[in-house]
């Protein structure tokens, strides 16, 4: 049997692992704890970048790989958290939403224009808002309702605390993607 891996597959595996590592590195930046059990972290920025730069499939895979490492006990979440217990906390909806957010961000990025670096940066901002804010926050609200037993309106109000910071992260995502587009014009944004 021949188990050789093509250069393209090897490149794909490398990017998935690299973005899982980027997610872990973002967890080294101290979190800001809020009273309702969901911290503010930079890890949602890595999710947005994974979708924009890797595309839907590889973005999803990279964040899922990261969450697998967290589930087996590696303390990779902001604040040095890890283990299966983090998926039973109020932030569980956001954690489970990370790979879905990367997937949706990648899908949106794939269909938006990226003929120029400026257009690519704006597209990344829009994709990050759709996947990294709208989708991620909907899953986070669901987690607050199901795990923290909040009523829906209270969960929505609690979630609104994250929106301004996440919109800033969307702007950073757009700037980073714009820079990558200028430096590497052949990059396949959104897996395109």
Tell me the C-alpha distance between 174 and 30, whole Å: 23
Structure tokens at 162: 């994250």
Tell me the C-alpha distance between 192 and 111, whole Å: 8
pLDDT of residue 72: 97
Burial of 96 (0-12, 13-18, 19+ CB in 10 A): middle
Backbone angles phi, psi at 154, to 5 degrees: -65, -40
pLDDT of residue 2: 60
pLDDT of residue 105: 98
pLDDT of residue 10: 86
pLDDT of residue 125: 98
pLDDT of residue 192: 64
The residues of the chain scoring below 50 in pLDDT are none
Q: Domain locations in the chain? A: 7-191
pLDDT of residue 1: 59
List, in sequence order, every beta strand (DSSP E) within 34-183: none
Tell me the C-alpha distance between 6 and 20, whole Å: 21
Q: Fold for domain 7-191?
A: Arp2/3 complex 21 kDa subunit ARPC3 (1.10.1760)
User: CA separation (Å) from 149 to 72, 92, 118, 181?
Assistant: 26, 12, 43, 43
pLDDT of residue 79: 87
pLDDT of residue 33: 80
pLDDT of residue 190: 79
């Amino acid at each position: 049997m021949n188990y050789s891996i093509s250069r393209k597959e090897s490149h794909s595996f490398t990017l998935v692992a690299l973005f899982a590592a980027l997610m872990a590195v973002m967890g080294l930046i101290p979190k800001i704890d809020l009273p309702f059990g969901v911290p503010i972290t930079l890890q949602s920025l890595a999710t947005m970048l994974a979708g924009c730069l890797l595309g839907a499939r590889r973005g999803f895979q990279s964040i899922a790989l990261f969450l697998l490492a967290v589930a087996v006990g590696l303390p990779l979440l902001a604040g040095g958290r890890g283990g299966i217990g983090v998926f039973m906390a109020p932030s569980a909806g956001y954690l489970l939403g990370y790979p879905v957010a990367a997937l949706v961000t990648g899908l949106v990025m794939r269909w938006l224009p990226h003929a120029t670096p400026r257009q690519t940066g704006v597209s990344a901002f829009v994709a990050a808002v759709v996947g990294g804010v709208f989708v991620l926050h909907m899953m986070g609200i669901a987690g607050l309702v199901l795990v923290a037993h909040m009523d829906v309106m209270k969960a929505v109000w609690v979630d609104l605390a994250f929106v301004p910071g996440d919109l800033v992260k969307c702007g950073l995502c757009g700037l980073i993607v714009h820079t990558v587009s200028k430096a590497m014009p052949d990059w396949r944004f959104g897996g395109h």
